[in-house]
């Protein structure tokens, strides 16, 4: 029963915590798994991490004392500490971009019962002192549909707090907590902290803008192989006789063309950048059409060589990157000679001499 006896209520909370700690951990794990599944099923949300924790018992008591005890006792309102600890179970979602926060909020609100929403982003941005911790906090419970499912039957009475932040906001939160005695430090140091927080905000916006600009570039490269093939007879950069300037080869157009020739291979972004740069360094004015032309004209020959090579070398293979190197070399041996080692060129040339 609620009371105004703090020592009694503190002991009651500690007893509750100790008796239910295993159940709380199970609920936390279940909520993390569910939230992770829901968000990752949405293909347009980029996540960094999802993690959970059960709040330390004594930290819960300290937070209650700091935020609620004085007001409740002054007003003569009897209390139970557990009723005021909304973040006993906590889940943190860290996404990449600011505009994903609202998407995650809408998604979770449609799958859980919403107890409360605290928008610390709006709180900070609507004040003159506009720098500080930013994030969105949702207090949630299982909705009626999930409460009926056997896997959640033990957790139907538990609420949990979910914090949604960007990577930048999460980094600022970690660093901000390491700055000791913020309220007591001199004004010149406070200004420096505010300046640093402003840089974090700018970084968040810039990452979002860079993503948007990158998506626009990708859309511009989203053409059909047939359209790219029509460019292949055009001189790189235009020929001065009325032929249009064609698109220079970049990582986006490389991926578009490579995926056409190697449909079952997953090209990794960090490798594509370096590989495309290597090609462009040897032929700076190469267009996507010309690259596609080299591939189209030589791929059948190189695939036959691949079969020969792998038959002769059962423990070795030519992956798509190596096949592309051979295709470009065969397309223009003078320009792309450096794409192959001397041994690889010698083996390839010997096979070509015997078969063509």
Q: What percent of the chain has pLDDT over 90?
A: 65
Mean per-residue pLDDT, 66-81: 94
Q: Regarding predicted confidence, which is higher, 245 or 299?
A: 299
Contact 317, 333 (CB under 8 A): no
State residue 285's pLDDT score: 92
State residue 212's pLDDT score: 82
**What does the H/E/C string look like for the chain?**
CCECCHHHHHHHHHHHHHHHHHHHHHHHHHHHHHHHHHHHCCCCCCEEEEEEEECCHHHHHHHHHHHHHHHHHHHCCCECHHHHCCCCEEEEEEECCHHHHHHHHHHHHCCEEEEEEEEHHHHHHCCCCCCCCCCEEEEEEECHHHHCCHHHHHHCCCEEEEEEEEHHHHHHHHHHHHCCCCCCCCHHHHHHHHHHHHHHHHHHHHHHHHHHHHHHHHHHCCCCHHHHHHHCCCCCCCCCCCCCCCCECCHHHHHHHHHHHCCCCCCCHHHHHHHHHHHHHHCCCCEHHHHHHHHHHHHHHHHHHHHHHHHHCCCCCCCHHHHHHHHHHHHCCCCCHHHCCHHHHHHHHHHHHHHC
State residue 172's pLDDT score: 85
Average pLDDT, the chain: 87
Mean per-residue pLDDT, 277-300: 94
Tell me: pLDDT of 241 over 90: no
Mean per-residue pLDDT, 233-244: 45
Cα 260 to Cα 117: distance, rounded to the nearest angstrom: 47
Give the range among 1-5, 237-241, 250-254 with minimum mean pLDDT: 237-241
Contacts of 248 (CB under 8 A, 6+ apart): 236, 280, 285, 286, 287, 288
Cα 49 to Cα 127: distance, rounded to the nearest angstrom: 30
Under the banding of pLDDT at 50, 70 and 90, the label for residue 243 is: very low
Q: Regarding predicted confidence, which is higher, 186 or 181?
A: 186
State residue 222's pLDDT score: 64
Cα 305 to Cα 231: distance, rounded to the nearest angstrom: 28
State residue 339's pLDDT score: 97
Contact 305, 348 (CB under 8 A): yes
- 163 bridge partner residues: 92, 137
Mean per-residue pLDDT, 221-236: 56
Q: CA-based angle 95:100:104, to the nearest 5?
A: 90
Under the banding of pLDDT at 50, 70 and 90, the label for residue 238 is: very low
Cα distances (Å, whole numbers) of residue 25 to 30, 86, 154, 158, 284: 9, 15, 12, 11, 58
Tell me: pLDDT of 225 over 80: no
Mean per-residue pLDDT, 49-54: 96
Contact 190, 182 (CB under 8 A): yes
State residue 41's pLDDT score: 87
- 138 bridge partner residues: 117, 162
State residue 217's pLDDT score: 72
Tell me: pLDDT of 232 over 60: no
State residue 121's pLDDT score: 62
Bridge pairing between strands 136-142 and 112-119:
antiparallel
Mean per-residue pLDDT, 38-47: 86
Mean per-residue pLDDT, 255-267: 92
Question: Whole-model pTM?
Answer: 0.67
State residue 268's pLDDT score: 87
List, for residues 94-113, the tens digit of each pLDDT value. Answer: 999 999 999 999 999 999 99
State residue 237's pLDDT score: 47
State residue 235's pLDDT score: 47
Tell me: pLDDT of 134 over 70: no
Tell me: pLDDT of 19 over 90: yes
Mean per-residue pLDDT, 54-63: 96
State residue 240's pLDDT score: 43
Cα 232 to Cα 222: distance, rounded to the nearest angstrom: 16
Mean per-residue pLDDT, 333-347: 96
State residue 344's pLDDT score: 96
State residue 214's pLDDT score: 75
């Amino acid at each position: 029963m609620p009371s105004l006896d703090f020592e009694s209520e503190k002991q009651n909370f500690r007893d509750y915590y100790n008796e239910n700690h295993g159940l709380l951990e199970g609920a936390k794990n279940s909520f993390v798994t569910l939230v992770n599944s829901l968000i990752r099923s949405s293909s347009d949300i980029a996540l960094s991490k999802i993690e959970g924790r059960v709040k330390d018992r004594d930290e819960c008591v300290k937070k209650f004392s700091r935020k609620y005890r004085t007001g409740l006792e002054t007003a003569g309102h009897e209390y139970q500490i557990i009723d005021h600890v909304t973040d006993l179970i906590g889940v943190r979602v860290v996404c990449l971009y600011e505009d994903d926060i609202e998407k995650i909020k809408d998604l979770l609100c449609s799958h859980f019962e919403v107890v409360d929403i605290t928008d610390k982003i709006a709180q900070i941005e609507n004040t003159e002192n506009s720098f500080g911790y930013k994030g969105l906090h949702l207090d949630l419970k299982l909705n009626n549909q999930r409460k009926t499912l056997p896997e959640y039957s033990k957790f139907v009475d538990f609420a949990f707090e979910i914090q949604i932040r960007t990577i930048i906001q999460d980094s600022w939160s970690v660093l901000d907590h390491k700055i000791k005695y913020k309220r007591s430090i001199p004004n010149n140091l406070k200004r420096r902290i505010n300046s640093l927080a402003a840089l974090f905000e700018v970084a968040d916006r810039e990452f979002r803008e860079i993503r948007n600009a990158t998506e626009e570039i990708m859309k511009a490269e989203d053409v059909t192989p047939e359209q790219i093939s029509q460019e292949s007879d055009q001189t790189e950069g235009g020929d001065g006789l009325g032929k249009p300037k064609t698109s220079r080869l970049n990582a986006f157009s490389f991926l578009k063309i490579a995926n056409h020739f190697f449909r079952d291979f997953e090209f990794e972004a960090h490798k594509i950048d370096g590989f495309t740069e290597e090609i462009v360094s040897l032929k700076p004015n190469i267009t996507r059409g010309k690259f596609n032309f080299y591939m189209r004209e030589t791929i059948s020959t190189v695939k036959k060589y691949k079969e020969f090579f792998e038959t002769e070398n059962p423990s070795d293979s030519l992956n798509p990157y190596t096949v592309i190197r051979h295709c470009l070399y065969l397309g223009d041996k003078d320009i792309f000679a450096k794409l192959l080692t001397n041994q690889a060129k010698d083996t390839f040339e010997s096979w070509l001499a015997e078969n063509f």
